[in-house]
Structure 1
Amino acid sequence: MTSANSSLYPVRRGKHKIFIGMAPGVGKTFRMLEEGHALKQEGIDVVIGLLETHGRKETMEKAEGWEIVPRQQIPRGGLTLTEMDTEAILKRSPQLALIDELAHTNVPGSLREKRYEDVQLILAAGIDVYSTMNIQHLESLNDLVARITGVVVRERVPDRILEEADEVVVIDVTPETLQERLLEGKIYATEKIQQSLDNFFQRRNLIALRELALREVADNIEEDAIASSPNGKFCNVHERVLVCVSTYPNSVQLLRRGARLANYMNAPLYVLFVADPERFLTKEESLHIHTCEKLCKEFSGTFIRVTNSQIAKAIAEVAEKYHITQIVIGESQRSRWQMFLKGSLTQRLVRLLKNVDLHIISSEKASSSKR
């Protein structure tokens, strides 16, 4: 038997597209309306489920002529507050609903505590949703954002909401452009401008928040690429640095050089030692490798130890497994006659590696980098 509500809850789940930015005023809502309008022009049934213009002229103009689902009126302590009317959106059942401020906390007494919970219900009903949020509202970044800005964000969205989204789009502007918009009165009222510039909208805060937003979406893109690529082969989005150490004394300097490269690229550091299965390390060599491992941990790196008689092959396998983009090796300690007979490690790596940059550090350079 088909229930009366079955038409509201088809099998297909709605698609969710999130427009994310580093701060208020980057243009998330404007872009959402722009894309919604383009779809409307193509004949898609689009409505505004909830819109917050914050008095911004360009946003209000962009919303003119739209069908807007009326807000729910909620009496509260002698006042009448408004919230998005989720049930009305479900009843209207458009193809696409535009819903602003995903992290919003609903008025106490509402059926659901958070707006993202309302969005989940709408998606479950087979309705596509475009929504907006700022990076500082992401749950896992809460402590980091507090350290950067000095502001503890109370309204938060679980990471799974972003992970489950069908598409995440970063609306990116430079910190300078955002500060200009603020000074022009396009984000907040005049009386709030200087206070905002002195606090949340400081340039250093905006630079850090912008990097967080771009990095978060890059993470999502890379995870999707890994999941959808055959054999896990894909073009890396993030840099990853692998330093190859050996029993030679210059490995410590090599590791420091690689750690600086990783720090410069804001990339994770991996350190690899390939042990020869046909020989045991001396006590001195074992202590040396242990020193390299300790130093790797001091640099917050990941130390990897494998056993393989074919060093180049082992390095290539580790590089593929960890999606390495940069490899740091020392200059060959072999004589020219040995390299002529057996070939150099560098030559073999070049043949085995694809889309990986190889940094060959000479003993002199490695030594000069010691601090």
Structure 2
Amino acid sequence: MAAGVGKTYTMLAEAHRRVARGEDVVVGYVEPHARPETAALLEGLEVVAPKGIEYQGARFKEMDTRTVIRRRPEWVLVDELAHTNVPGTEHAKRWQSVEEILAAGINVITTVNIQHLESLNDVVYEITGVRVRETFPDQVLDNADEVVVVDLTPEALINRLKRGVVYDLAKVDQALVSFFTSDKLAALRELSLRQTADEVDEHLQAAVAENTVLAGREVVMVCVTLRADSVRLVRRGFRLARRFHGDLHVVHVSMEGRLRPDAERPPLECVWETARSLGAHTHELSGNNVATELVEFAAMHRVTFIVLGQSVRSRLEEIMRGSIVTRIMRETRGIDVVIVSDREDPEERARREGLE
């Protein structure tokens, strides 16, 4: 759910149970967080020493992935899956290190907070007002054999915080008025439980689909632009495709013959990076008419859902030039069209309008 509920403690307790049953378990990496209860549970477990890495004049510790793989235990514990590795590590993200361990045939037990799930990034921002920068792809969670929710009521977590169990007491007051408010924790808790329930539901739907000869496959198409809001459209489309166990296509249309300015490349690359991390198929199209290209793509790929952002054209512009959204809705009968409301950041809106 959130920091301090006891994820690391629960993981270590599970490790002791497995060791007692005669299973081969090692600790790949655990964040001690200066919590005595957590440190105590490390006793009696084999720990692979972390690797020291020099970066910008400081020394950091990261999981020694190569040593873990050479050791070849049956199980390895890896804390904080969404962690960003220090430059110089084998992979940019810890979840990528975990994938390498899994590919070597080693089972992994890991911990995550709900706010680090990529597709929930916008939802978490709306709840907390904090834009989480460290995320991991939903596919990593989808591939897990088992997901355990470490649940704690907001009141109990706040009590742990006040006692200095979660953070140093000097940081508690700020935490209580920013991230760790009762309302925000309650919303994150509900999000965690709902996400787990959705996982169960999706596995059931997948099982039914595999055993149903006539099961139709949903295909979701997300239409993106250079606006920063497009990343949110991709996440919304992913959750829709995931709910129906369907395919996801992310599509951008450039005007034919137009050279793209360098300033336009970073926003679109951000969209592509998010789409690929969520397992989407990405398509860069070109043509003289955006709506025509999108309608033809939808027909060719048997799209069943189209996700669009709200039109940013003024009423006068729509009268003079037409509305892409309206035309797509008119020419794609039989396809469900989802219009996502405009929540573009005010600064981004001002920047974009200044360029038009």
For 2:80 and 2:69, the matched residues in 1 are separated by 19
For 2:208 and 2:140, the matched residues in 1 are separated by 23
- Number of the residue aligned with 1:82: 61
Query: Normalized against structure 1, the TM-score is what?
Result: 0.56
Q: Deviations over 1:239-287 (max 9, x none)?
A: xxxxxxxxxxxxxxxxxxxxxxxxxxxxx9xxxxxxxxxxxxxxxxxxx
For 2:26 and 2:203, the matched residues in 1 are separated by 29
For 2:102 and 2:135, the matched residues in 1 are separated by 19
Q: Given the alignment of the two structures, is residue 139 of structure 1 paired with residue 118 of structure 2, yes or no?
A: yes
Alignment counterpart, residue 167 of structure 2, candidates 188, 198, 222:
188
- Number of the residue aligned with 1:102: 81
Alignment counterpart, residue 149 of structure 1, candidates 109, 116, 128:
128
Q: Given the alignment of the two structures, is residue 225 of structure 1 paired with residue 204 of structure 2, yes or no?
A: yes
Residues 297-336 of structure 1 mapped to structure 2, 5 A cutoff: none
For 2:168 and 2:90, the matched residues in 1 are separated by 33
Question: How far did 1:147 drift?
Answer: 1.3
Between the two proteins, what is the percent identity of the paired residues? 51
- Structure 2 SS opposite 1:170: coil
Tell me which amino acid in the other structure corresponds to 1:145: V
Tell me which amino acid in the other structure corresponds to 1:158: P
- Number of the residue aligned with 2:326: none
Question: How far did 1:230 drift?
Answer: 8.9
For 2:211 and 2:157, the matched residues in 1 are separated by 38
For 2:153 and 2:57, the matched residues in 1 are separated by 44
- Structure 1 SS opposite 2:111: strand
Question: How far did 1:231 drift?
Answer: 8.5
- Structure 2 SS opposite 1:169: coil
Residues 239-254 of structure 1 mapped to structure 2, 5 A cutoff: none
For 2:51 and 2:69, the matched residues in 1 are separated by 13
For 2:209 and 2:110, the matched residues in 1 are separated by 31
Tell me which amino acid in the other structure corresponds to 1:50: Y
For 1:102 and 1:141, the matched residues in 2 are separated by 16
- Number of the residue aligned with 1:39: 18
Q: Given the alignment of the two structures, is residue 122 of structure 1 paired with residue 101 of structure 2, yes or no?
A: yes
Q: Deviations over 1:143-188 (max 9, x none)?
A: 1111111111010011111111111111111111100111111100
Q: Given the alignment of the two structures, is residue 50 of structure 1 paired with residue 25 of structure 2, yes or no?
A: no
- Number of the residue aligned with 1:273: none
- Number of the residue aligned with 2:46: 67
Unaligned segments of structure 1, at least 5 residues: 1-21, 234-267, 269-371
Higher relative contact order (CA 8 A, sep 6+): 1
- Number of the residue aligned with 2:194: 215
Question: How far did 1:71 drift?
Answer: 0.7
Contact 1:71 1:84 in 2 (8 A): yes
Query: Normalized against structure 2, the TM-score is what?
Result: 0.58
Tell me which amino acid in the other structure corresponds to 2:170: E
For 1:24 and 1:111, the matched residues in 2 are separated by 26
- Number of the residue aligned with 2:182: 203
Structure 1 residues 59, 227: closer, same or farther in 2, change over 3 A?
Answer: same
Question: How far did 1:229 drift?
Answer: 5.3
- Number of the residue aligned with 2:91: 112
Tell me which amino acid in the other structure corresponds to 2:198: D
Structure 1 residues 232, 183: closer, same or farther in 2, change over 3 A?
Answer: farther
Q: Deviations over 1:92-123 (max 9, x none)?
A: 11000000000000001222100000000000
- Structure 1 SS opposite 2:73: coil
Contact 1:148 1:205 in 2 (8 A): yes
Question: How far did 1:65 drift?
Answer: 2.2
| Aligned residue-pair number | 213
- Number of the residue aligned with 1:30: 9
Tell me which amino acid in the other structure corresponds to 1:130: I
For 1:25 and 1:177, the matched residues in 2 are separated by 10
Question: How far did 1:194 drift?
Answer: 0.9
Larger Rg: 1
Question: How far did 1:226 drift?
Answer: 2.7
Structure 1 residues 232, 199: closer, same or farther in 2, change over 3 A?
Answer: farther
For 1:78 and 1:207, the matched residues in 2 are separated by 41
Q: Deviations over 1:74-100 (max 9, x none)?
A: 112222211100001001110000000
- Structure 2 SS opposite 1:129: strand
Unaligned segments of structure 2, at least 5 residues: 213-242, 244-356
Question: How far did 1:215 drift?
Answer: 0.6
For 2:137 and 2:106, the matched residues in 1 are separated by 21
- Structure 2 SS opposite 1:142: helix
Tell me which amino acid in the other structure corresponds to 2:96: E
Alignment counterpart, residue 175 of structure 1, candidates 149, 154, 157:
154
Contact 1:226 1:232 in 2 (8 A): no
Question: How far did 1:69 drift?
Answer: 0.3
